[in-house]
Amino acid sequence: MADSGAAVLVEETLQVFRDNFPGCEPTVGVAAPGRLQLSNFNNYLLILQALPMVTVVVGCQSSDGIISLLTTAKEADEPKRLEFPVPTESNPLSPGLPCWANYVKGVIQHYRAGPLPGFKAVMASNVPLGGGLSSSASLEVAMYTFLQQICPDNGDLVEKALACQKAEHTFASMPCGIMDQFISVMGKKDHALLIDCRSLEVTPVPLTDPGLVVLITNSNVRHTLTGSEYPTRRKQCMEAAKALKKETLRDVSMADLTAAESHLDAEVYRRARHVISEIKRTTDAAKALTSRDYREFGKLMVQSHNSLRDDYEVSCPELDELVAAAMDGEGVYGSRMTGGGFGGCTVTLVDAAAVENTIQRIKDNYSGTATFYITKPSRGAHVLKL
């Protein structure tokens, strides 16, 4: 059974399949969730939860050696439907137009078993596209899970997440970390997951308190980026680590950084200060969450937001407005931007009794139009019973 919101999505997707591929009956259905970052922006230590919002893929195998794909996503670029032969060694897939299909083609190309048969598949999502909740990873992981049903691989979960990440790197030109795909594969109902991106160690932290609500607020803005924002920050962090004779900032202490301040460019210093302080905050936040100290966890969320805003400079006025409005009332533990920044969503930890007031206050104070989602930590990718 799919989760309730997803159940409707599955029914709609099955209908779209039948309408568009007359004479074929979908035999395989899978779902993979988007994810929410509760803590941390960088690729070191992260606290995340899988969302109840999912990408669904339904379809069937075919014997004609052709792959037919269709997305229902309104935001996806045209055409929404395309067909191509199953790739071979001498005829591999390559990225192209439409952009949305690159995520799917990348997964097909990097799939870890074969040879794949032809297939027809419809994909649909209730993860907002481009909202920082990782619709892209949920699409990749859903497609991978679909392929596992028609051509099983060895079932290794880490390898699965890595193949999906590779798809995003090589076909969507997005040098993302591993966490989005990881959480979409491994999400655990009622648990946040602490992920160490270096060792790929995953520690589940129960998040089941009925008095606690995780509220996502979508700013519904996404600022256009030049493309240099993330590479520049990565370069700056590497530069700081190198100046301190370490491989990464993970091995640099705040005391070492402070001592080196005069040798570092001011902006490089602030970027490094964000990363080093955020690693400490994430470790502390994991402890706070484990001991159900939501007040401490919330305090760390706000500190994190301020550091992302002032030192890492990836927030934007809309996200700052949403966080300020959320914090300006009773029963709110903490609030911060989530995802890559420059728009997208915030996450707010709030007492269940205060959630309605909080939503109203954000609506009243936000200059734009926000969308709200109350979420529970949900399971990772799974097969649907059709």
Please state whether beta strands 212-222 and 118-125 pair in parallel, antiparallel, or not at all (unpaired).
unpaired
Does residue 324 contact residue 342 with C-beta atoms inside 8 Å?
no
Q: Which region, judged by CB under 6 A, interacts with ligand ADP, from 96-104, 145-153, 223-231, 264-272?
A: 96-104
Q: Which region, judged by CB under 6 A, interacts with ligand ADP, from 21-29, 124-132, 299-307, 353-361?
A: 124-132
315 near Mg ion (CB under 5 A): no
What is the DSSP secondary structure assignment for residue 94, as one 8-state letter? -
131 near ligand ADP (CB under 6 A): yes
298 near ligand ADP (CB under 6 A): no
Phi and psi, residue 379, nearest 5°:
-80, 165
Residue 342's nearest CA partner among 371, 313, 363 is 313
Q: How far is CA 189 from CA 141, 183, 186, 377, 378, in A?
A: 17, 11, 10, 5, 4
Looking at 17, 41, 44, 103, which residue binds ligand ADP (CB under 6 A)?
103
Looking at 50, 139, 215, 308, which residue binds ligand ADP (CB under 6 A)?
139
- CA triple 259-281-237, angle to 5 deg: 50
Q: Which region, judged by CB under 5 A, interacts with Mg ion, from 45-53, 111-119, 127-135, 191-199?
A: 127-135
Looking at 76, 107, 241, 337, which residue binds ligand ADP (CB under 6 A)?
76
According to DSSP, the residues that pair with 371 across neighbouring strands are 218
- For the chain, counts of helices (H) and of strands (E): 11, 12
Q: Which two tokens stand for residue 203?
A: 């520690």
Pairwise CA distance, residues 218 & 71, whole Å: 23
Looking at 13, 39, 40, 55, which residue binds ligand ADP (CB under 6 A)?
55
Pairwise CA distance, residues 212 & 331, whole Å: 10
202 near ligand ADP (CB under 6 A): no
State the catalytic residue, choosing from 19, 64, 156, 180.
180
Closer to ligand ADP by Cβ: residue 132 or 298: 132
100 near ligand ADP (CB under 6 A): yes
Our answer to whether residue 265 is catalytic in this structure is no
The contact mask relative to Mg ion for 129-168 (x = CB under 5 A, - = no) is -----x-x--------------------------------
Site for ligand ADP in 301-360 (CB under 6 A): 339
CB of 367 to Mg ion, least distance (A): 26
Q: How far is CA 357 from CA 164, 324, 339, 361, 368, in A?
A: 40, 14, 25, 6, 18
Site residues (vs Mg ion, CB under 5 A): 134, 136
Site residues (vs ligand ADP, CB under 6 A): 55, 71, 73, 76, 99-100, 103, 123, 125, 129-136, 139, 339
Could you give the residue numbers annotated as active site? Answer: 180
